[in-house]
Structure 1
Amino acid sequence: MSAALVIGAFWIDYRDYLSSPLPLPDEAPLIFEIKAGSSLKRVVDDLAEQAVIEKPRYILLNARLTGKGTQIHTGEYRLEPGMQVRDFLDMLYQGKVIQYSLTLIEGWNFRQMMTTIHTTPHLEQTTLGFSDKEIMQAIGHSDEHPEGRFMPDTYRFTRGMSDIDILKRAYNAMTTHLAEQWPQRAVGLPYETSYEALIMASIVEKETGVPEERGTIAGVFINRLEKRMRLQTDPTVIYGMGEYYDGNIRRRDLRTDTPYNTYTRGGLPPTPIAMPGREAIHAALHPEQTEYLYFVSRGDGSHKFSRTLQEHNEAVIKFQLKGRKRSFSSYKNNEDDNQ
């Protein structure tokens, strides 16, 4: 057989192989990992030992012909039934690694966020047992309180990424968003810094059961701040109670002073109390212009808003006391109360 025929037969076989399906065991998806420092030859040899790659020399030849043999990416890859060899190569060259996701929810506090991060499969854990300060130090912000500093969102990651990677991305996302939104805030708001707006956004996030009410609730709190009224919002009290909160908030809790008790202290609490989402931040920076000073839960997630203490007391009797008059803080002592 002439050399030309031999070369021609080899080339046909090479092209046919690239179009052939991978012989996956049991016709099921196969997950394999390329670790840092692995060469294409090492990857191909490993898959050949698993009988997935039948002609490894053709894979290496393709890498040389295309010049992409040094472009493989570390991570996990999924081989699906019916996938052709050329699909495998494209996946390898383009770095189409398996991506996992982690969702941080609006309204979670820092502890809830870290519990979720630390129990997320496939994510390397490097901060287990760290204090809050040590975690912030690990991401380069040891002088900051962690609460509210991270953007709630869904974050995708690949095997080999760590909790620090997620924390940095969430921190940077919040920092960037707040920096973009702060200059666009409404005129005349009683905030000196964007951090104070973040604190307000966290309160709005925790008080809002109906998204459409965010702007109104923010407007109520702005009105109270401007009139030097205490915010008197239960979520701040609950946050200040910490591990002592058992699911119920009592009158004595409202009277027990902590840095976060907005019934006993004026102004904003010292830090955010949760992770506010983008909508809550927008509401804090663009509150509804309203005359409302009070609101009370209707029991269905929505609120009844009032302009005067008398209206508010009547709303408390209707929605909280089921129409029965009995003493409560604003009714008995003529004190403002928006719980």
Structure 2
Amino acid sequence: MRRTIVIIFFLVLLLTALVAAGSMYNRIWRSNVKLTADKDMDLFIPTGSGFEEVLQLLAGHNILRDTSSFRWLAHQKNYPSNVHPGRYRIRDGLSNNQLIGLLRSGRQEPVQLVFNNIRTPQKLAGTVAAQIEADSVGILSIFRDSALLAEHQLTSETVYGVFIPNTYEIYWNTSASQFLERMVREYRIFWNEKRLALARNIGLSPMQVMTLASIVDEETLKKDEEARIAGLYMNRLKQGIRLQADPTVKFAAGDMSITRVLKKHLAIESPYNTYRQGGLPPGPIVIPSVSAIDAVLNHERHKFLYMCAREDFSGYHNFASTLSQHNKNARSYQNALNRRKIFN
């Protein structure tokens, strides 16, 4: 009888151990992540978040089968003291151990930051802020932070020249100042020895190339015309003739949507108004495209000094080497504007 009792005791003890082991296994290694969609999910943990904020994010996405087991293991693995911000790729079927290991490690997924065809600082800030944690207000503020810009040998006029349109792999929790630092690094990489040599050959600094390229970008949407327009402006610079570039007047007026530059616009006092100021503006008027930058560096060699939009509104220009021919071209275009009743 006593032997039977002992056997039963050990069996109960074994069963209890097995149940406890099963419960422990479930808490640690059993799948606890259930995604409703048939694809991975990105979890964004903001900078400054604590463990409770992470739990709220997980609860908001409703991806944990059992929150209590996740909380228990998180404390066992000291995750509350090791919360890292960032973008984390969550896969369906992850166990608590796998999920906590991922979040605790800080192994976040980078984002593909893309910006192209940007005209204004506000547009740039908004486009970037939609892809990383930094907000548009914070990004705009670095464009006016003279001390920060000075660290990178930049000013509020030249800062827009360091943003090279491209796709960049970057961490989601990048701050505004870190974003600027990254763009400065990319700018220096972009200006390799080949491009620097081309810039020296045409007598311009890299930032002056960026400035002229921004004007070329605003003058035409036709890529096959960029090098010719760049050559025209290089001719004017070499001969000491004011650029008289309409896009710079629009920039000075604070309205890039102007369709017809009038005398009142030409009279605007601004270092960007190239009808009144000689040489290049203080900095880029838009973020130039790579094609326009390379068009400046490899501009056409010709004798053109003037250009005017074609009267057929094709987007192309008529070029002239004499003022008399240019005036004829300009009258044709102005008459075409009048016929279409485009007065401003």
| Same fold by TM-score greater than 0.5 | yes
1:138 corresponds to 2:148: yes
Equivalent of 2:116 in 105, 130, 138: 105
1:286 corresponds to 2:314: no
What's 2:178 paired with? 165
User: How far apart in 2 are the matches of 1:97 and 1:294?
Assistant: 53
Task: Tell me if structure 2 keeps the 8 A contact 1:108–1:274.
Answer: yes
Over 3 Å counting, the alpha-carbon distance change for 1:167 and 1:187 in structure 2 is: closer
What's 1:67 paired with? none
User: How far apart in 2 are the matches of 1:274 and 1:323?
Assistant: 26
What is the TM-score with the length of structure 1 in the denominator?
0.68
How many Å apart are 1:185 and its aligned residue?
0.2
Over 3 Å counting, the alpha-carbon distance change for 1:245 and 1:88 in structure 2 is: closer
1:77 corresponds to 2:91: no
What's 1:202 paired with? 214
Q: Which runs of 5+ in 1 are unaligned?
A: 64-69, 326-339
What secondary structure does 1:296 align onto?
Answer: strand
Over 3 Å counting, the alpha-carbon distance change for 1:146 and 1:51 in structure 2 is: farther
Q: Aligned AA for 1:178?
A: W
1:305 corresponds to 2:319: yes
Equivalent of 1:272 in 284, 299, 307: 284
What's 2:307 paired with? 295
The worse-fitting range, judged by mean Cα deviation, of 209-218 and 285-294 is 285-294
What's 2:329 paired with? 315
User: How far apart in 2 are the matches of 1:57 and 1:173?
Assistant: 42
How many Å apart are 1:55 and its aligned residue?
5.9
What's 1:211 paired with? 223
How many Å apart are 1:153 and its aligned residue?
3.3
What's 1:185 paired with? 198
User: How far apart in 2 are the matches of 1:51 and 1:255?
Assistant: 69
User: How far apart in 1 are the matches of 2:316 and 2:267?
Assistant: 26
Structure ranking higher in helix proportion: 2
Task: Tell me if structure 2 keeps the 8 A contact 1:126–1:164.
Answer: no
Over 3 Å counting, the alpha-carbon distance change for 1:73 and 1:305 in structure 2 is: same
Q: Aligned AA for 2:291?
A: E
CA RMSD of aligned residues (A): 5.0
User: How far apart in 1 are the matches of 2:247 and 2:135?
Assistant: 33
Over 3 Å counting, the alpha-carbon distance change for 1:173 and 1:244 in structure 2 is: closer
What secondary structure does 2:271 align onto?
Answer: coil
What's 1:22 paired with? 33
What's 1:254 paired with? 266
CA deviation string 1:280-313 (max 9, x = no partner): 2212222122232222223232223333334433
User: How far apart in 2 are the matches of 1:268 and 1:261?
Assistant: 9
User: How far apart in 2 are the matches of 1:74 and 1:131?
Assistant: 22
How many residue pairs are counted as aligned between the two chains? 317
What's 2:5 paired with? none
What secondary structure does 1:222 align onto?
Answer: helix
Superposed, which structure 2 residues align to 1:21-60 within 5 Å?
22-24=33-35, 31=43, 33=45, 50-52=64-66
Over 3 Å counting, the alpha-carbon distance change for 1:304 and 1:203 in structure 2 is: same
1:241 corresponds to 2:253: yes
